[in-house]
Amino acid sequence: MTLKLHNTLSRQKEIFEPIDKDDIRMYVCGPTVYDLAHIGNARPVVVFDVLYRLLKSLYPKVTYVRNITDVDDKINAKAAETGVDIRTITEGTAAVFRQDMAALNAQEPDAEPRATDHIPEMIAMIKTLLEKGHAYEAEGHVLFSVSSWDDYGKLSGHNRDEIIAGARVEVAPYKRDPADFVLWKPSSGIEPGWESDWGFGRPGWHLECSAMSEKFLGDEFDIHGGGQDLIFPHHENEIAQSRCSHGTAHMARLWMHNGYLMSEGEKMSKSLGNFYTVHDLLKEFPGEAIRLALLKTHYRKPLDFTRAGIREAKAELDGFYRAIQHLSDVESIEHIEPIHEIEVPNTVESALLDDLNTPLAIACVHVLADYALNPNSGVHHPTGAPTNVEMGWVKYRLLTQASLLGFLQHDPEQWFKGVSGDGLDEAAIDELVAKRVEARANKDFAESDRIRDELAEQGVILEDGAGGTTWRRE
């Protein structure tokens, strides 16, 4: 099977051809840890986690690097505003970020370098760029000279006039050209800084990723990812720094970017009440439901993230977990022959191999879950009821296919009892269920109904069966 991915640099879908098929190398821009991660920050984490899972299923080794930006003007502003030490802010926020992303079933990268741990590498890269004539000093700053390199602008497609007109390009009197960007800038005694040949200062944001990707992945590597908002100027500037420093034809061979995220039909804004942090959403919804809501739209398309969408995703996951629950007495079996009678038209792998088509991949999981719940349907099994062995294969396929997307990572019983908000905890629910069982035994049906309704208002559904009463959250 062939993996095809859309390359922002070539503006087309390409067959993925690794530099070294025995070690795939991928870098994704991580968070600037000045505040809690919002749902827009989570989208690239989840998207590239799916790619990471897919690559690991195809190749013997994958090296995935996602950085932590812990020196930045936003962090400095947060410290000045709160009076809290910068290191305290960044370490605390980074720890919460990792916890929140783990709750979304995002796997940890193989390396997670912090910018402040790699200042010597950044200083060394600046010296190389100065020696090669691609940078210059001016009033305590070191700047990259855009006019020194003909390939600048190829990733974004911007011409020079568009670059200068861009809102994120600072025009300063010490620049030779308005399009030039900062590699090093002076720091006051209040701001963090390091000694260098150009005085006490700190690196430019773009330089950080160039230095860290070189250290962990080399001068050239396979894939660089991030959000669409990073194409210009951040990724454009990374390419310029890295290629001019190393003298290479590429920094990354393939550039991938996820689309913009809206919230409740609008741009996210605290004033509009649609600004969602992952940390707050996790108090109300399972992380896996948030993950599914992010993946139901193709990664390159704009996504309108809504609370209603999370609720719909939770209902879909309930169906997947019911399917696994339905197969609880069946042993998972990887290979059986013959298997042609079971009709599963598409697979998650084939969908993901086509530029991470997660909507189609999710549809494939639905087909398997529906088969597990309705195996005697003529649609799925025209020759009659499947055997336990065949159902074991279905269970194996459902679990492994869903795992590629980061789903079905919990025990079904725990999923249906898991905390999904600020409602009753398990002990309180179990106590009420016991009281209801006692009321039913005493034929106090009014009290039984009252307890059932009380639990329903808390989002807890009771199911009475021959084996007794069980419960699950909506």
Look at strands 468-473 and 460-465 and give their pairing.
antiparallel
Q: Are strands 252-258 and 221-227 parallel, antiparallel or unpaired?
A: parallel
pTM of the entire predicted model: 0.86
Supply the DSSP string of 317-347, one letter for each residue: HHHHHHHHHHTTTS---S--S--TTS-----
Going 72 to 75 to 81 to 87, the CA torsion angle's sign is negative
Nearest to 206 by CA among 253, 243, 161: 243
Q: How many CA atoms lie within 13 A of 150 on its CB side?
A: 1
The topology under which CATH files domain 19-258 is: Rossmann fold (3.40.50)
3-state secondary structure (DSSP) of residue 68: strand
Q: Rounded distance, CA 338 to CA 408, Å?
A: 27
Indicate if the alpha-carbon torsion angle 356, 360, 364, 370 is positive or negative.
positive
Supply φ then ψ for residue 364, to 5 degrees.
-65, -40
pLDDT for the residue numbered 24: 98
What fold, for 270-416?
A: Isoleucyl-tRNA Synthetase; Domain 1 (1.10.730)
Strand partners, 114: 68
Could you read off the pLDDT tens digit of each residue along the chain, which spans 474 residues? 799 999 999 999 999 999 999 999 999 999 999 989 999 999 999 999 999 999 999 999 999 999 999 988 888 888 888 888 888 889 999 999 999 999 999 999 999 999 999 999 999 999 999 999 999 999 999 999 999 999 999 999 987 777 666 545 566 888 999 899 999 999 987 888 999 999 999 999 999 999 999 999 999 999 999 999 999 999 999 999 999 999 999 999 999 999 999 999 998 888 888 899 999 999 999 999 999 999 999 999 999 999 999 999 999 999 999 999 999 888 888 766 544 445 555 689 999 999 999 999 999 999 999 988 887 764 455 555 677 888 888 899 899 999 999 999 999 988 988 744 445 666 677 778 878 888 887 888 888 888 888 788 777 888 887 667 877 776
Three-state secondary structure readout of 214-258: HHHHCCCEEEEEEEHHHHHHHHHHHHHHHHHHHCCCCCEEEEEEE
pLDDT of residue 79: 84
**CATH 1.10.730 domain span(s) along the chain:** 270-416
